[in-house]
Structure 1
Amino acid sequence: MKWDRRTFLQALLTWGIAQGSTIRPSYNSKFYRYHKALAESTNRKLALLIGINTYTKNLSLKGCLTDIERQKDLLVNRFGFHPTNILTLANEQATCQNIKNAFLEHLVNQAKTDDVVLVHFSGYGTQVKIPSNRISPVSDYSVLTQGIIPSEGNQLNKNITLTNNILQETLFLLGKLVDTEKLTMVFDTSYYSTGEINQGNLRVRSLPYQVSEANTDELVWQAELKSKIQNSGISNDYGTILSAAGIGQVATEIKGNDFSVGLFTYALTQYLWSVTPASRINIALNKATEEVLPIVGESQKPQQQNSTQKSLFAYYLLPINFQGAEALIDHAEDLDNIQIIFTGISADILRHYGLNSIFHTMSSNPLSFFQLHSRDGLKGKVHQISKGTRIYQPDLIGQLLQESVRCLPRTLGLTVALDSKLQRIERVDATSAFSVIDIVSDITNDEEKPVDCILGLLASFPFSTSSSESLNSSEKSKYGLFLPGGVQFPNTSGKTGEAIKSAVGRLHPNLEKLLAVKLLRLTVNESSSKLLCSINLEGLNPEPYPIDKRETNRNKIFTSQIGEIKDNPYEISNLQGLPKVARGTRLRYCLHNQGDKTLDFIIFGINSNGKVIAYIPAHEKEIELKAQGASFLKPGMKNAIPSTSSGLTWTTSSTRGWEQILLIASIYPFYNTWQALKKIPEFKIEKDQIIILNDPLSIAKALLEDLNTASIQINKRIMSNSDTYNLDVKAWSTLSFIYQII
């Protein structure tokens, strides 16, 4: 078969690229050589990156410059942009006029047909009034439209009407003037105002002030752009638009240890760094949504607006490297002081990423290994611990590193924030009550600190529930636990008139569940795991139908021929947002061990009621450290869970919300986990079971101990350590599903 461009792209889609799935062909294959030719296209790649932190003192943002730094690193080192073709406007450089000039001079005047163009904006957005006599008859807007705030916003205060905005429609019109259909615009901003600077513990990127009228000059210039487009017969659409939040929602910034960053930008770039090797943009967006949801719930849903030409891949590009990466070497003083930038690690995992974690090079044979010895925000320093193929210092810069060993602290606890609207006596009493709960490691009033949850009043959080009904006065005075983004954890609100010390005591079991879920999520490693396994999520209605699929790919070599390719039933090419599953739907999980090692496994579910559920497969006999019963997943084996013969059913909750499923597989038996499970009265080792875990924390800790033991067995560099769990990516795999219950 002839490998022309059309055939190549069709093959990619058929192989499952569209479902966030990935391909790693043989490096000697014609497929690989053609991929490299496309990835290193001679067409120009242009980018305009705009980030503004420095508005007025009370309104300053903190993560916008980090956003554009992450985008630039991604574009240069993953997608092959030349640094000179990336124009950055930061802080005071990003004036209204400079943004428009940069769009015209850097993009409109330079871009040619089939060039790739990316525009990114991080900063404040707002709603803007357009006088009724100025509204275009073809506009989708009535009285209010959306706009971004350039750096002249430094003069903003509550007594000044804003006029220095740039209307979003103006940016769309400028996009039409760019002579390519391969335009992507990313807006990590929002326009809906809650009147607050923060939502929960996160900074909001919507201006908290009232809407203003659009600048007359802006409207005049917009009319001139429309006239130019009409007279020139330009038919370009305005490209693919990616927005951090939907209508009536807010975009937020998250905090890590010594860094702030846009939640959407981090999630999107992290996925694009880690995916192997390419993904459709709608799948990338869905993956980003999965990262956003556990932090802000459904109050921030990233959105996609496609052009008339369907975007095959994120940013209309194939990456220049097949394999994803967790780190990038940025600078090297010598082989003992090498600075790295963390790239493909999720924000929650990176927050607790421990010293002594190990990375390895991608291309050298044998591999060279580097160990983390210091951390500073999104950067760290490593030293070389195994020479592998000798790498000279100048050749280190720009090298991509993959995760080899993940170190996590054993003493990990919860950081709890106190609602800023609590009275002083409430804060004192809450702090005293938390001090006797050993799983709470820190109580903070610091809004700059990353937290796991917030203790507060329902009245303090406008997005506290998913219900559209407003709370009555008695409900507002109830205490509850909230996500960092201000959304309430299910079933954590108490009674009216409850003392805050009593509330803390009542919430102790909820806190244990939160920590258990946190520990389980820290094991997710779909992108970096070297075990080859997959899991299909199916609904039963009553016949099975596909919902979603997860699989590891980092160690996979693709060997199929074109003639063997079949359509992927899990390809949901038009999927927008997370998969939606009806309440009470029966589910089935289809596991496939694609590697050469026998796997032990367990499945955890966190349902929309906040309960933790586990599926435990039967074993023929008591598990011993070196004995593997017949119910383990052997190489090549497939297993449907729950099986028809077991008589078990796994159904979604009857409550609207979202649920997460975690499949955890290991090359070593879950000995400690089974010992912890045996303490549950109804647990029977010889039969398949689905159990609600009332004490999931002990199970989660035992499971981490098992993964640590498995890693020690296969990696001589790992020593038993009382301070950390040391997890080798060749020893385990954790695959995660998140879906909406409707």
Structure 2
Amino acid sequence: MKWDRRTFLQTLLTWGIAQGSIIWPSYNSRLYKYHKVLAEPTDRKLALLIGINTYTKNLGLKGCLTDIERQKDLLINRFGFHPKNILILSNEQATRQGIKNAFLEHLVNQAKPGDVALVHFSGYGAQVKIPSNSPNTIPGVANYPILAQGIIPSEDNQSNKNITITNNILEETLFLLGKLIDTEKLTMVFDTSYCSTGEINQGSLRVRSLPYKFPEANIDELVWQAELKNKIQNSKISANYGTILSAARKGQIATEIKGGNFSVGLFTYALTQYLWSVTPASRINIVLNKATEEILPIMGENQQPEQQSNIKQSLFAYYLLPTNLQGAEVLVSSAEDLDNIQVIFTGFSVNILRHYGLNSIFHNISSTSSSFFQLHSRDGLKGKVRQIFKGTTSRQTDLTGKFLQESVRCLPKIIGLTVALDPKLQRIERVDATSAFSAIDTVAGIASDEEPVDCILGLLASFTSSSSNLTTLNSSEKSKYGLFLPGGVQIPNTSGKTGEAIKSSVERLRPNLENLLAVKLLRLTVNENSSKLLFSINLEGLNPDPYPIDRRETNRNKTFTSQIDKIENNSHEVYNLQGLPKIARGTRLRCCIQNQGNKTLDFIIIGISSNGKVTAYIPAHEKEIECDTQDASFLEPGMKNIIPSSSSGLTWTTSSTRGWEQILSISSIYPFYNTWQALKKIPEFKSQKDQMIILDDPLSIAKALLEDLNTASLKINKMITSNSDTYNLDVQVWSTLSFTYQII
């Protein structure tokens, strides 16, 4: 493929700056100047955003309008779209004719070569039959996004009979319309799915597949599609359609989640959240993999985003570089005065945002010297902050549209699990389960219909459609109780015996619940995109020679001058080209870590296996960690280390069972004193040698780690005070980097 200078520079910049790079352009570097040229709005940027919550009775969705709001905010503020070039069709506006007109008038008639175009659809999908007499169409089954007024229900909505789907557009028709747009820089995002489970919900999540049997496609739609095909075939229109991002693979379902006072498409949230926070640009495959990482703890492998693209597709998301190099966690939407600033949360994972506490602190990246803002109220995705320290004199009118980055993360010290009960349980089972959970400290409560949940207690029979390993169970096995992810996927090693009383089941699951809470707390510390430490970690396999699997690195505090030759030299280091890393069972692993900053670090590595075990790697310390120690004493500035080292005699291997695993690397500028004390209670713990220990009580370790990070933050930040109810974590103190990979 032949590239012009502009495309070459875009690709070069993206390969060097994206995740896995050690490059950050300073304001006086040549590369920064290139970025300025590439990010300028020289070409038009057009978007069509379609979101439908309102369907027929009992079939409404709740998160589709939130999806298009998040996309709109992202496009305008991160990628430089002009608001007038974004056309939104919501609910009753999103009819077949409305979408047809929008494509032709807003996109086809306006777009020119070099322009960027984005189409987003959030709503129901279904599969329809293509009859044998269809014009210029192969008979079979086709995907059908469901539009406003596109469902005519039967009198009995539960019968799944006599359902008419009309006035809709086939997915293939949307692809054909995309080919009419005279630019190859087209991205189409579909947060919908077409494979029906026959249910409205999957676990505790709302499904975006219509729960009805196949109807037949509308004949008018097939005629129009045939006309479009003829038009494309008889013209010189390119067959390229840009990039298509789908929320789920063929045969899977897309879902929407509840985040506390809001609902949103799981895929759209993960996608936009990462694009907001990443610094400063990212390859599209990395973006999709990061979204998959966010989805896995909720849906397991039952919803995996997918990318289709032509061979000329850009390496970077939406064919664009951000107009601002730095990512952000918060966007200022308006400011009445400096004590009442309205913000939108943009760059936090949904699980972190769920517990994000009042008094958290942010700083304004647009100010020449930092101005700090403290959160004093929050409602779902929106909140209010007030200025608490003026690095420069600010006016509220200067703040609207500005980015705020995380400085101090406040988390409640009392966090428990919210458990949902399988709706197919009998009333007496629900009463007994609720009573049993009330006696378990790790459980905060039983979820209501609108609450986000951490897990579900239910019967294996209730979730056979969502877990392939359950479909072969006999009837007695299906009557067993177990724990499930929010998306209905069974958590390993949680099923009990046939005939077990539900109260006994809850008590049996107490250790599993403690493990789940420990993992939840550890994940609340992930801050790859906001940490001010300079730290990197490479995950490698040994076969027997080392080979690269994945890489993580903090980027936000990088200010050193970049060199183009460094980008060229490192451009061959490409990770995760085909989805999440896939690693064979029993593969030996190692981590290569590097302290790239100017402060000595302490660190610990936590592994969460596919069978639910939690393992900790603890580096050797020459002397006992004391309570009043002021500085960490292990990983010196510039120091590299291999974990586990060949001299330690330790072996780190992946699980022997199929699934997915996670590795968390937690580092701090102060020693982990409380963690050290908790580890000393483990009989086999030896302080003066490297160790890998399976944690029988990971919850105590997770709480100790949070306490250590809180103590370190209090030592360096005078704006925060000790609070018995809150962990106050300063991003200058710690970094938590996360890897997720599949075991095959």
How would you bin the TM-score normalised by the shorter chain? over 0.9
2:644, 2:684 → 1: CA distance? 18
2:567, 2:242 → 1: CA distance? 31
Paired position in structure 1 for 2:310: 307
Paired position in structure 2 for 1:658: 660
2:649, 2:135 → 1: CA distance? 63
In the alignment, does 2:362 pair up with 1:334?
no
The one-letter code of the counterpart of 2:142 is: T
**Structure 1 residues 704, 689: CA separation in 2 closer, same or farther (over 3 Å shift)?**
same
Q: How does 1:450-489 map to 2 (within 5 A)?
A: 450-467=452-469, 469-489=471-491
Paired position in structure 1 for 2:674: 672
Give deviations 1:608-664, integer Å, cap 9, x for gaps: 000001001111111114548996111000000000000001100000000000000
Give deviations 1:13-52, integer Å, cap 9, x for gaps: 55252x4657431112222122122112310000000000
Question: SS where residue 132 of structure 1 aligns?
Answer: coil
In the alignment, does 2:142 pair up with 1:145?
yes
Give deviations 1:212-260, integer Å, cap 9, x for gaps: 1111110110011011111112124111000000111100001011000
Question: SS where residue 556 of structure 1 aligns?
Answer: coil
1:6, 1:396 → 2: CA distance? 34
Give deviations 1:529-567, integer Å, cap 9, x for gaps: 000000000000010000000000000124242234454
**Structure 1 residues 551, 486: CA separation in 2 closer, same or farther (over 3 Å shift)?**
same
In the alignment, does 2:386 pair up with 1:389?
no
Question: SS where residue 344 of structure 2 aligns?
Answer: strand
2:244, 2:572 → 1: CA distance? 25
CA contact (8 A) 1:329 1:396 kept: yes
2:726, 2:576 → 1: CA distance? 43
In the alignment, does 2:406 pair up with 1:406?
no
Q: How does 1:627-666 map to 2 (within 5 A)?
A: 627=629, 632-666=634-668
Paired position in structure 1 for 2:6: 5
CA contact (8 A) 2:259 2:350 kept: yes
The one-letter code of the counterpart of 1:11 is: L
Question: SS where residue 549 of structure 2 aligns?
Answer: strand
CA contact (8 A) 1:118 1:185 kept: yes
In the alignment, does 2:258 pair up with 1:261?
no
TM-score, structure 2 as length reference:
0.97
**Structure 1 residues 411, 293: CA separation in 2 closer, same or farther (over 3 Å shift)?**
same
Give deviations 1:485-532, integer Å, cap 9, x for gaps: 000111000011110000000000000000000000000000000000
The one-letter code of the counterpart of 1:116 is: V
CA contact (8 A) 2:633 2:671 kept: no
Paired position in structure 1 for 2:626: 624
Paired position in structure 2 for 1:615: 617
CA contact (8 A) 2:459 2:480 kept: yes
CA contact (8 A) 1:464 1:482 kept: no
Q: How does 1:208-223 map to 2 (within 5 A)?
A: 208-223=211-226
**Structure 1 residues 466, 615: CA separation in 2 closer, same or farther (over 3 Å shift)?**
farther
Q: How does 1:689-704 map to 2 (within 5 A)?
A: 689-704=691-706
CA contact (8 A) 2:467 2:488 kept: no
CA contact (8 A) 2:601 2:632 kept: no
Question: SS where residue 150 of structure 2 aligns?
Answer: helix
2:574, 2:315 → 1: CA distance? 13
Question: SS where residue 133 of structure 2 aligns?
Answer: helix
Give deviations 1:70-120, integer Å, cap 9, x for gaps: 000000000000000000000011011101110111000100001000000
TM-score, structure 1 as length reference:
0.97
CA contact (8 A) 2:243 2:310 kept: yes
CA contact (8 A) 1:200 1:486 kept: yes
Q: How does 1:508-657 map to 2 (within 5 A)?
A: 508-568=510-570, 571-572=573-574, 575-627=577-629, 632-657=634-659
Give deviations 1:387-426, integer Å, cap 9, x for gaps: 1111211111101000000000001011001100000000
Quote the offset at 1:282 in angstroms: 1.2
Question: SS where residue 186 of structure 1 aligns?
Answer: strand
Question: SS where residue 664 of structure 1 aligns?
Answer: strand
Paired position in structure 2 for 1:416: 419
1:233, 1:520 → 2: CA distance? 55
Paired position in structure 2 for 1:120: 120
**Structure 1 residues 208, 304: CA separation in 2 closer, same or farther (over 3 Å shift)?**
same
| Aligned partner of 1:442 among 441, 445, 454 | 445
Paired position in structure 2 for 1:291: 294
Could you tell me which runs of 5 or more consecutive residues in structure 1 were left unpaired when the two chains were aligned.
none
Give deviations 1:255-302, integer Å, cap 9, x for gaps: 011000000000000000011111111110000000000011000000
2:479, 2:697 → 1: CA distance? 29
Quote the offset at 1:9 in angstroms: 2.9
Paired position in structure 2 for 1:98: 98
1:613, 1:270 → 2: CA distance? 29
Q: How many residues align?
A: 735
Question: SS where residue 133 of structure 1 aligns?
Answer: coil
Question: SS where residue 666 of structure 2 aligns?
Answer: strand
2:7, 2:454 → 1: CA distance? 47
CA contact (8 A) 1:417 1:455 kept: yes
CA contact (8 A) 2:550 2:575 kept: no
CA contact (8 A) 2:41 2:80 kept: no
Paired position in structure 1 for 2:279: 276
1:16, 1:25 → 2: CA distance? 8
1:730, 1:275 → 2: CA distance? 18
2:359, 2:631 → 1: CA distance? 35
**Structure 1 residues 402, 127: CA separation in 2 closer, same or farther (over 3 Å shift)?**
same
The one-letter code of the counterpart of 1:211 is: F
1:275, 1:108 → 2: CA distance? 31
CA contact (8 A) 1:546 1:570 kept: no
Paired position in structure 2 for 1:724: 726
Quote the offset at 1:570 in angstroms: 7.4
CA contact (8 A) 2:583 2:741 kept: yes
Paired position in structure 2 for 1:506: 508
Of 233-242 and 114-123, more deviation after overlay is shown by 233-242
> Kindly, what percent of the aligned residue pairs are identical?
77
In the alignment, does 2:347 pair up with 1:344?
yes
Question: SS where residue 524 of structure 1 aligns?
Answer: coil
1:38, 1:236 → 2: CA distance? 26
2:209, 2:109 → 1: CA distance? 32
CA contact (8 A) 1:330 1:397 kept: yes
Quote the offset at 1:463 in angstroms: 4.5
Of 457-466 and 701-710, more deviation after overlay is shown by 457-466
Of 368-377 and 306-315, more deviation after overlay is shown by 306-315
Quote the offset at 1:331 in angstroms: 1.1
CA contact (8 A) 1:24 1:276 kept: no
1:176, 1:694 → 2: CA distance? 57
Question: SS where residue 469 of structure 2 aligns?
Answer: coil
Quote the offset at 1:332 in angstroms: 1.1
The one-letter code of the counterpart of 2:13 is: L
2:596, 2:440 → 1: CA distance? 43
1:690, 1:366 → 2: CA distance? 44
1:129, 1:469 → 2: CA distance? 27
In the alignment, does 2:440 pair up with 1:425?
no
Paired position in structure 1 for 2:172: 169
**Structure 1 residues 469, 54: CA separation in 2 closer, same or farther (over 3 Å shift)?**
closer
The one-letter code of the counterpart of 1:310 is: Q
Give deviations 1:45-69, integer Å, cap 9, x for gaps: 0000000000112110000000000
Question: SS where residue 449 of structure 1 aligns?
Answer: coil
Give deviations 1:137-176, integer Å, cap 9, x for gaps: 6x6xx51010101101364344332123210010000000
**Structure 1 residues 475, 569: CA separation in 2 closer, same or farther (over 3 Å shift)?**
farther
Paired position in structure 1 for 2:157: none
CA contact (8 A) 1:606 1:659 kept: yes
CA contact (8 A) 1:20 1:284 kept: no
1:20, 1:128 → 2: CA distance? 43
Question: SS where residue 134 of structure 1 aligns?
Answer: coil
